[in-house]
Amino acid sequence: MKKVVKFGGSSCASAAQFEKVGQIINADPARRYVVVSAPGKRYNSDTKVTDMLYHAYDLCVNGGDFRTIMDKALKRYDEIVEGLNIKLDLSEDFEIIAAQFDQKAGTDYAASRGEYLNGKVAAAYLGYEFIDAADVIFFDNDGNFLPDETNDVLSKRLAGVERAVVPGFYGSQLNTKVKTFSRGGSDVTGSIVAKAIHADIYENWTDVSGFLVADPRIIDRPKVINMITYKELRELAYMGASVLHEDAIFPVRREGIPINIRNTNAPEDPGTMIVESTCAKSDYTITGIAGKKGFVGVFIEKDMMNSEIGFGRKVLQAFEDNNISFEHMPSGIDTMTIVVHQSEFEEKEQRVLAAIHRLAKPDTVNLVTDLALIAVVGRGMKDNRGTAGRIFSALAHARINVRMIDQGSSEQNIIIGVENKDFELAIRAIYDIFVVTRV
């Protein structure tokens, strides 16, 4: 069996955390390929190494004293190296980085060095081979990831390598310039490595014991989701549930490789298994609840709308012409609602409304502002009658007015629009009826 294990910034923040990483890896000989992030925060007021490097580069570009920040970053690594009692001197690496800063190597280069250096630390500590991600992960010169070229080079490079550390978050462009993924991109690197070696499992180790049914900032100690499908995960991640970088799904999904979200600080917890499909039943009718605030609904009415060919296209053109993407579009016979981010819409609202009138000639256009959207997601919903009724009953009992309803064709999700002020209360009401009381 072959496993790729990725450890996030909190898992690599100190020597003590690194020792936990070592124990986890040594506990299972299948954990042969390791991806690491840069050292994260050790405590709430601490600074992530990546943020230190961003700051140092910004000072360098603007003629400031960046060496002081670089010395602090080096000290972070030296503390980890000394705590692990390994022989590794990173001072020369820091001199090279400083020289590259002077030559204006770019913010991506600066940000990537945290992972690069931590990869060297992990390789020295574990006794694994270090492979620079810049040599095996590629982007075109416009910054677009090149999956086929990467998989070809990476799979050949790892062939015959029994154990390796690959730093996360970055690769290189065809012009050899370092390029990073978006924040959290080490998750993507782990997925890419898992695909290249045809891993049996991709374990993503972080500081939580898997995906939670609801946001712990709203629900006190919510239940952990034991198993979730990629489709369910996509729905929840889109609505704000974030434990895993969204793009990390695609490389392993195409290969049928499951992802296991685990907790470095509680390695005995089984975590959440993310799979393509499963015959395993959910513990509850729903799998998870997630949501976001700050939407506006553009409510459009026109008699005989349903018989007018191209009406929807004309309405959407008004948004497209103003560079606004829509989130949802529930509709009736003579009505349709376009839901967009309020922050994007406000500064362009009059242009959009004028364009709708000009292009589609509706009878009326009204705005429903300060909306929050809540997604109730679950593969078990389509097999249980009355799911929507239970949701609306819970909301009615909590005296929450539902402003919008949109159910996906897959029957795996229902989107509910409520007022921003009712957002947290609505999530608690839904969680209570499906998870706590299970009536």
Of residues 23 and 245, which shows the higher confidence score?
Answer: 23
Residues 6 or more apart in contact with residue 13 via CB below 8 angstroms? 39, 40, 41, 42, 46
Evaluate if residue 151 carries a pLDDT over 80. yes
Evaluate if residue 147 carries a pLDDT over 90. yes
Mean pLDDT of 278-287: 83
Mean pLDDT of 32-59: 96
Cα 141 from Cα 24, distance rounded (Å) = 38
Residue 190 contacts residue 202 (beta carbons within 8 Å): yes
Strand partners, 413: 377
pLDDT in tens, 69-98: 999 999 999 999 999 999 999 999 999 999
Q: In what order do the strands lie in the sheet with 364-377?
A: 335-341, 288-301, 364-377, 413-419, 404-407
Smallest CA-to-CA distance from 37 within 151, 212, 183, 239 is with: 183
Residues 6 or more apart in contact with residue 216 via CB below 8 angstroms? 222
Mean pLDDT of 229-252: 80
Cα 111 from Cα 186, distance rounded (Å) = 12
Cα 334 from Cα 321, distance rounded (Å) = 24
**Structure confidence at residue 119 (pLDDT):** 97
Evaluate if residue 106 carries a pLDDT over 60. yes
Mean pLDDT of 384-401: 89
Residue 134, both tokens: 């810049």
Evaluate if residue 410 carries a pLDDT over 70. no
Question: Could you tell me which CATH number the domain at 3-275 has?
Answer: 3.40.1160.10
* Residue 223 DSSP code: P
Mean pLDDT of the chain: 92
Evaluate if residue 166 carries a pLDDT over 80. yes
Cα 428 from Cα 416, distance rounded (Å) = 14
**What are the residue ranges spanned by the domains of the chain?**
3-275, 288-436
Q: pTM for the full model? A: 0.85
Tell me: domain 288-436, CATH 3.30.2130.10, correct? yes
Evaluate if residue 439 carries a pLDDT over 90. no
Phi, psi of 115 (to 5 degrees): -70, -40
**Structure confidence at residue 379 (pLDDT):** 84
Q: Count of alpha carbons within 13 Å of 431, Cβ hemisphere only?
A: 23
Task: For residue 351, give Cα distances in angstroms to 296, 319, 346, 347, 348.
Answer: 15, 9, 10, 9, 5
**Structure confidence at residue 184 (pLDDT):** 74
**Structure confidence at residue 243 (pLDDT):** 72
Question: Of all residues in the chain, what percent are helix, strand and coil, respectively (each to 5)?
Answer: 40, 20, 35
Of residues 422 and 285, which shows the higher confidence score?
Answer: 422
Mean pLDDT of 93-105: 96
Mean pLDDT of 197-223: 93
**Structure confidence at residue 185 (pLDDT):** 81
Least confident of 159-173, 271-285, 303-317: 271-285
**Structure confidence at residue 387 (pLDDT):** 84
Evaluate if residue 413 carries a pLDDT over 60. yes
Residue 183 contacts residue 389 (beta carbons within 8 Å): no
Phi, psi of 34 (to 5 degrees): -120, 135
Residue 161, both tokens: 């390598």
Of residues 404 and 426, which shows the higher confidence score?
Answer: 426
